[in-house]
Amino acid sequence: MGNARRALHDQRMTVWEMAEHLAQQQHGVISRRQCLELGMLDTQVTRAGRERGPWQRVLPGIYAVTTGQLTQTSLVAAAVLFGGPTSQVSGLTALAWYGCTYLPRATGVDLLIDWRLRRQPAGYVRFHRTRTPPPAFVRADVPLSPVDRAALLAARHLVALSDVRAVLSEVVQRRLTTVDRLAHALAHEPVAGSALSRRVLGELGAGCLSVPEMELRDLVLTRPALASGVVWNHPLEVRGRRLVADACWPAVRVVVEVDSIAHHGLGDGPERTSRRRAALVAAGWRVLSVSPRRIREEPLRVLAEIEALVLA
């Protein structure tokens, strides 16, 4: 901070100009401590952040140098300033910064902090203390927890199985991490609140790569005769080509494909999916396509259709 302060002073700025210049480098936010280090008086900072002042108070000791509505980036940057220099953005917010889009709605910003810090959460910021802070990944000057830690922290605080499935399957689909790395990270996470994560990692380990595939697996497992011969996302050699089927019964040459727009948008796309299915049919495989909606709303009918092919 000392070097930054000297550089700003060398530009012959007033303390107000220096504060606003520094804030612009931090997505529009600044801390009281930084203001004081620049030479502002404590009373000046207080007046600036009062109602009708030129700034707005975002969190205790953190100000935005504008009175307009803050962007999500500014809110995240303010949270990091509030958490301190070693804090990391984690949970759903971090996953969004990594590029995930099929996420439950985040209701605040989760920060991973060293367990020795005694900061109290405030506003939209939640603290999660850890004895093993991982190296942070910095994107747009914002420190992020590694994907594994962020995904598992998010999952630990979700109550719906479908949400946990969405979070963990997307980070694997996007190749941001692997099932093995998630399992390794989970082994070092608190046991409390990990039941859903462990279940979903088992589903991912079985080969399911999307929420609809996991829901289809739930159905198949209710029928022992179907469950005994199925493999998930299994590579098949079809006329010299390597094709992957969502659910496959190799012994009877049956494939069940889930028509999930979201999953195929992340994966190989609708056109390639159509070509793969045509190639399977041409090679003598029987292919059944089911939508996620039917799996959820017509489970017994979907089961009957699968049984008609597999058990015929």
Binned at pLDDT 50, 70 and 90, residue 48 comes out as confident
Pairwise CA distance, residues 172 & 210, whole Å: 9
Q: Which of 54-63, 225-234, 259-268 has the least mean pLDDT?
A: 259-268
**Pair 76, 95: CB distance under 8 Å:** no
| pLDDT score of 2 more than 70 | no
pLDDT(273) > 80: no
pLDDT digits (tens, 9 = 90+) for 134-155: 899 998 889 999 999 999 999 9
Give the confidence band of 56 by pLDDT, cuts at 50, 70, 90: very high
pLDDT band at 1; cut points 50, 70, 90: very low
Residue 268 has pLDDT above 90, yes or no: no
* 9 has a pLDDT exceeding 60: no
- Indicate if the pLDDT at residue 307 is higher than 70: yes
Cα 171 to Cα 167: distance, rounded to the nearest angstrom: 7
- Picking from 42-46, 177-181, 199-203, 205-209, which range would have the lowest pLDDT averaged per residue? 42-46
pTM: 0.84
Q: What is the mean pLDDT of residues 111-126?
A: 88
Q: Which residue has the higher pLDDT, 263 or 258?
A: 258
Query: 234: pLDDT confidence band, cut at 50, 70 and 90?
Result: confident
- Please give the pLDDT value at position 304: 95
Average pLDDT over residues 235-259: 89
Average pLDDT, the chain: 88
Task: Tell me the percentage of the chain whose pLDDT exceeds 70.
Answer: 93
CB 196 within 8 A of CB 166: no
